[in-house]
Structure 1
Amino acid sequence: MSLSKKQILERANLMSKNTLMETLGIELIDIGEDWLTAKMPVGPKVHQPDGVLHGGATVALAESVGSFASHIFLDSEKLFIRGLEISANHIKSVSTGYVYATACFMHKGRTTQLFDIKVTDEDGNTISICKLSTISLPKRKV
């Protein structure tokens, strides 16, 4: 039985309870054949001292959506998936509203995966461009 888009997003968002994703208000909102989108509110909780979105919060959003994409699009029942490396180029600042991160596969290998993650504001302006690599290894039987 395959799950609907709504069911996949609901289950994934439930997994975020009591995690950094919940703390930052990150919510998975849309999914396609090889991409996943999340949103995060921008306000004082994720600001740097001068009142704009903290780059670390942006990177946390990017890694969250990319890692969840690995879990959703790979067989996480059989595979142990972890982030290996993330990089970010911050292009524009934002101080209010929401930012959206969409993770798309650049490489979907058996062991390693590479995601292109674009972070935008509510008007579609690019805020940051991130790259995330993940690794997937067989789970050991206990």
Structure 2
Amino acid sequence: MTLFRRATTLAELNALSEGTAMRPLGIEFTELGPDYLRATMPVDARTRQPYGLLHGGASVLLAETLGSSAGGLCVEEGQGVVGIEINANHLAAVREGTVTGTARPLHVGRSTQVWEIRIEDAHGRLVCISRLTLAAVPLRAR
């Protein structure tokens, strides 16, 4: 049984990145499971800080992208999610390659959600652990 209420595909999720902060950073959704969402992000000139390491802000952007995207799949039709708190602990430095983030729910309620996002390097080493709290809100017409 799947946690997600809304059916989607990786192609649809990746298409939503067009014209957003995710596209220039190279974030790509790669796997959608029954209770998780996974994406990758390159560690290159777009995502490094001046000392040549993966920028913590880029890791947080990956984490919020994953948690918010997964959370949006868990709400009723006519609702969306917005981030109300995020934290991140940066545990290891990465200079090159690709990192992979995986979002899994800790709590999915009607009005709030809490997601844990683990970001690992290509060797499976934990680089960043993040927790994101979301609020479920009515969608407004654009």
TM-score strictly above 0.5 = yes
In 2, are the aligned partners of 1:93 and 1:127 still within 8 Å (CA)? Answer: yes
Task: Report the TM-score when normalising by structure 2.
Answer: 0.90
Distance 2:48 2:138 in 1: 38
In 1, are the aligned partners of 2:88 and 2:129 still within 8 Å (CA)? Answer: yes
SS at match of 1:19: coil
- For the pair 1:59 / 2:60, whether they are aligned, the reply is yes
Aligned to 2:132: 132
Superposed CA deviations along residues 93-130 of structure 1, whole A, max 9, x for unmatched, are 00111001100000000000000110000110000000
Correspondences of 1:12-91 after superposition (within 5 Å) = 12-75=13-76, 77-91=77-91
Task: Report the TM-score when normalising by structure 1.
Answer: 0.90
CA distance change for structure 1 residues 129 and 141 in 2, over 3 Å: closer, same or farther?
closer
Distance 1:103 1:140 in 2: 26
Superposed CA deviations along residues 65-93 of structure 1, whole A, max 9, x for unmatched, are 11000112323x31031111100000000
Aligned to 2:99: 99
User: Which residues of structure 1 form unaligned runs of 5+?
Assistant: none
User: Which residues of structure 2 form unaligned runs of 5+?
Assistant: 1-5
Superposed CA deviations along residues 37-75 of structure 1, whole A, max 9, x for unmatched, are 010000111111010100000000000011000112323
Distance 2:74 2:34 in 1: 9
CA distance change for structure 1 residues 121 and 138 in 2, over 3 Å: closer, same or farther?
same
Distance 2:140 2:87 in 1: 30
How far off its partner does 1:139 sit? Answer: 3.5
In 2, are the aligned partners of 1:34 and 1:73 still within 8 Å (CA)? Answer: no
SS at match of 1:22: helix
SS at match of 2:34: coil
The number of equivalent residue pairs is 137
